[in-house]
Amino acid sequence: MENTDPAPPGRTAFADRALTAYLETLPLPRARLGGGAGDWRVEEVGDGNVNFVYRVLGPSGSVCVKQAPPYVRVAGESWPLTPERVVHEYRALEEHGRAAPGALPAPLHLDRDRHLLVMEYVEDHTVLRHRLGRGALHPGLGEQVGDYLARTLFATSDLALPAADKRALVAEFELNTEMCRIMEDMVFTEIYRDFHRNSWTSPELDAEVAAVRADTCVLIAAARLKDRYLTSRQALLHGDLHTGSVMVGATGSRVFDHEFACFGPMGFDVGGFLAHLLIAYFAADGRRGTPSPPEDEQQAWLLDQVEQTWDVFRERFLALWRSSGRGDSYPAALFADARGAAALEAERGAYLDRVLCDSVGFCGAELMRRLIGFARPADLTGITDPGARAACERAALRLARSLLVDASGHRSVRDVTDAARHARTG
């Protein structure tokens, strides 16, 4: 989760000494750190809103400790939240990590009683959103995230898994109910009503927000996507894949913060990530202050990353299906001869067309809720001039609506980037 309030200072779950003494008892973290507790230093890593996150530095390396209090950290005990979220985060790190080693921090230890996990500390990486907010690019981004999406979503789907293994995983992640509820409420429901946590650039966008809430095509599309989030168990999702859940560095990208992990429609992850690239695209205009018709270099690059993310996701997913489609769905044995193989190959394309349609819809839903809901991203809230902010948000709202209400009309990712350009120029 993200919001724009700064984290209150000084709230910590652990005395440093207690944490290092505890880590000394854990073989994997101890080995990474080197030396003993006396050689280790603890730093709180400040910018998460929900949990306590620490970096612990030792002579040979660092580990990252994430501890989930039974509430939202920045809100305190007034906003209770199950600490079990950390268990699902850890398990998702394991399942996704197996599918895409190196694309996320390596999980090192889970403590179910203390609601705490230890993972690899990712050195020399920056949260992608911060980087984009400074106008920077990260070469290879779409390729890296598209690859992560293909590997993790394929590996946890019925295309890869025997049904018995898949059903056991579904049963396990079904228990991440409270975190799913946050998405059900925040993404698909609260923004379409009068709700105390909603916020938008007011009064500039008041009329637009009123229009969204009165727009029955938008309401129905959002409700239909909510139904899909509630009823589909297609793959194990990251569940909150935005540009604040990706760190980038010289060696690539790392995806983290899997506390919303659940089984759901693949398009929820794919579309969610695309939405945040598109937010950065519109926000770039807001930062410049004046509407400037030609796209800047970052904007052109961002749309290119939208296309790259989808194209790489699609190609790698297809390649994995061809080479490793050993799950119970689309049983390979039925399509063994040449005609069968050709028919299955065509169906693979149709399957990914359906994932694209879902992705476009969820992208629209995510854009919408990040523009007028509770968790507005720093890309937008960091634009100090309300007029400039409203102008770029208005353009993004136009895109959000078109993706939401006409998801199936966008038959390729090129249709999405075209629609973004079109929305930007009014």
SS3 state at 149: helix
Binding status of residue 326 toward a copy of itself by CB under 8 A = no
Q: How far is CA 99 from the centre of its chain?
A: 17
CB burial of residue 296 (10 Å; 0-12, 13-18, 19+): middle
**Rounded (5°) CA angle 252-257-260:** 135
Nearer to a copy of itself, 101 or 331 (CB): 331
Amino acid in position 229: Y
- Residue 422 in the binding site for a copy of itself (CB under 8 A): no
Among 2, 120, 257, 285, binds Mg ion (CB under 5 A): 257
Lay out the sheet containing 62-67: strands in order across: 41-44, 52-57, 62-67, 116-120, 107-111
50 binds Mg ion (CB under 5 A): yes
Closest CA to 243 of 144, 112, 391, 353: 144
67 binds ligand ATP (CB under 6 A): no
Strand partners, 252: 249
Shortest gap between Cβ of 170 and Mg ion (angstroms)? 22
List the single partner that 216 binds among ligand ATP, Mg ion, a copy of itself, none, CB under 5 to 8 Å by kind. a copy of itself
- CA atoms 16, 11, 49, 90: torsion sign: positive
340 binds a copy of itself (CB under 8 A): yes
x/- mask, ligand ATP, residues 235-264, rule CB under 6 A, reads: ---------x-----------xx-x-----
For the bound state, the minimum distance from the C-beta of residue 327 to a copy of itself, rounded and expressed in Å, comes to 8
121: contact with ligand ATP by CB under 6 A: yes
Amino acid residing at 65: V
β-pairing, 76-80 with 71-72?
antiparallel
What's the min distance (Å) between Cβ of 357 and Mg ion?
A: 28
Which DSSP symbol is given to 171? H
Cα gap 137→305, rounded to integer Å? 10
Residue given tokens 């750190």 in the structure block: 33
Examine residue 233 and tell whether it contacts a copy of itself (CB under 8 A): yes
Stretch that binds Mg ion, among 46-54, 311-319, 340-348, 391-399 (CB under 5 A): 46-54
The footprint of a copy of itself (CB under 8 A) covers 157-158, 163-164, 166-168, 170-172, 174-175, 177-178, 180-181, 184, 189, 192-193, 214, 216-217, 219-220, 222-224, 226-227, 230-234, 328-331, 333-335, 339-340, 342-344, 346-347
The footprint of ligand ATP (CB under 6 A) covers 1-2, 45, 47-51, 53, 64, 66, 105, 119-122, 127, 244, 256-257, 259
